[in-house]
Structure 1
Amino acid sequence: MTLGGMGRNTGITKIKDQWSLVNRAGQGVVASEKMGSSDRARIGSMKCVSDFKRARQPEQREQRRQDILQSAARLMAEKGFDQVSLNAIARGAGVAKSNVYRYFESREEIFLTLLRQDWDDWLVQFEPAAKPLADSGDIQKLSALIATSIAERPRMCELVSVLASVLEQNLSEQALLTFKTESMQLGGRIMAIVQSVLPTLPAHNLMAIGHTLFALIAGLWPLGNPPEPVQKVMSRPELAAFQLQFRPALELALNLMLKGASNP
């Protein structure tokens, strides 16, 4: 037998052994506690691929897309944004990593989609909540309402905080254009709410208010929610002056910003 033939036979034997291990595990022949961690990981990966069925109908494709988004959301809630990889999202959705690209061009686009959903969900609740303030000109109550409703959505805040530095960095021009266009539409709804409460606010300041709102979230969220080692240091009494609570800090900043923007 030639060396090439021996190599091919060895590869075939290895593949047969791997699939035999999967089959035996599925039949209960190989007990989980007797398997090494590498065997379990290999089985999980191979079964994920073997169980995968391509979504062909529109409703199946939409369900697969939602599975991917739900996996990303779940992992982010468990581990935090920085610890979530595309591989982990794919495993959580029960698909191979290569199949994720049928629905999203990158990990960043997945999280941008979640951010757009969070913005829309926030506005759906914020719009009716702001109606009692219509034509009141009450900057203090509007600032409190905005800050409180935003602080109740930590995922949205965290994603806003990494929007410019991470989420917009690995996207095609078309994906960026789509995101920016949808963001403008959402921004228009925010500005309409602000104008309904503050009817004397100069119209030329409305766009700046929208930009400043997101800049405040992006800057204040990481300061109010630092990594654990930073939290430990900042808990020292001598550093109390540097401790920041996100919601009150956002409310104060919005109050000052809206008062300044209300001047002609």
Structure 2
Amino acid sequence: MLTEMPDAQISLNELARRVGLAKSNVLRYFETREAVLIHLLNKELDSWVDQLSEAHLTATGSAFERADAVASWLSTSLAARPVLCDLISSQASVLERNVSTELVVEHKQAVGRTAGRLQALVRDDLPELSAEDAYVVISHALLMTSAV
């Protein structure tokens, strides 16, 4: 459904219909439509970092050349995942509304774990970066994805 329409147009009724369940059955597992989308966002983020890890870049050259390679690697991989990009862009304005505080906390913790994995990948190619600097790179990449 996310490849067919923006996440804002996806209803819980249509989602339940497509998976062959009653809406009440979907609500047994997910508190709202936004909860379903947050779950999908977490899965997409994990899948993205898994893919990056499997096809890990081994940048060579000067620090500038390696930084440019890492930026290209991240941006190309994100461009190949439009559903992930759409979910990222909806995260604060749509997905984190109409859900429990517990779910938002779980989501933030899951994103933090995924960001930690990505941080390690970035530092493999740019060891000059501190952990905090690598986290800033990741944060900016995701922020720019959200803005685009």
Normalised TM-score (structure 2) = 0.90
Mapped pair 1:150 → 2:78: yes
The Cα of 1:132 is off from its aligned counterpart by 2.2
**1:219-238 to 2 correspondences below 5 Å:** 219-220=147-148
Tell me which residue corresponds to 2:24. Answer: 98
Q: Distance in 1 between matches of 2:46 and 2:56?
A: 15
Structure 1 residue 135, shift from structure 2 partner: 8.7
- Rg larger for: 1
Looking at structure 2, the residues matched to 216 and 135 of structure 1 have their Cα atoms a distance apart, in angstroms, of 26
3-state SS of the aligned residue for 1:79? coil
**1:27 aligns to what?**
none
Count of aligned residue pairs for this structure pair: 146
Q: Does 1:188 pair with 2:116?
A: yes
Contact 1:136–1:197 (8 Å) recurs in 2:
no
Alignment of 1:185-224 (within 5 A): 185-220=113-148
Q: Any unmatched runs of 5+ in structure 2? A: none
- In structure 2, give the amino acid aligned to 1:79: M
TM-score of the two chains, using structure 1 as the length reference: 0.52
Find 2:44's aligned residue among 101, 110, 118: 118
Deviation of 1:136 after TM superposition, in Å, equals: 6.4
1:134 to 1:107, Cα distance in 2 relative to 1, 3 A: farther
Instruction: State the percentage of identical aligned residues.
Output: 34
Corresponding position: 1:171 with 2:82:
no
Distance apart, 1:76 and its partner CA: 2.1
Runs of 4+ aligned residues of structure 1 deviating over 3 Å after TM superposition are 134-137
What corresponds to 2:2 in structure 1?
76
Counterparts of 1:144 and 1:158 in 2: how far apart (Å)? 20
d(CA) in 1 for partners of 2:61 and 2:99? 41
Higher RCO structure, 1 or 2 (CA under 8 Å, sep 6+) = 2
Shift of 1:90: 1.1
AA partner of residue 123 (structure 1): V
CA RMSD of aligned residues (A): 1.7
Matching residue within 129, 146, 164 for 2:55? 129
1:136·1:198 contact (CA, 8 Å) conserved in 2?
A: no
For the structure 1 residues 204 and 84, does the alpha-carbon distance in structure 2 shift closer, same or farther, using more than 3 Å as the test? closer
* Residues 134 and 121 (structure 1), Cα distance of their counterparts in 2 relative to 1, 3 Å cut: farther
Alignment partners' CA distance in 2, 1:122 and 1:136: 27
**CA-CA distance at 1:125 after TM superposition:** 1.3
| Paired AA for residue 92 in structure 1 | R
* Residue segments in structure 1 that go unaligned for 5+ positions in a row: 1-74, 221-264
* Residue pair 1:105, 1:171 contacting (<8 A) in 2 also: yes
Cα 1:107–1:83 change in 2 (3 A) is: same
The separation in 2 between residues aligned to 1:207 and 1:159, in whole angstroms, is 20
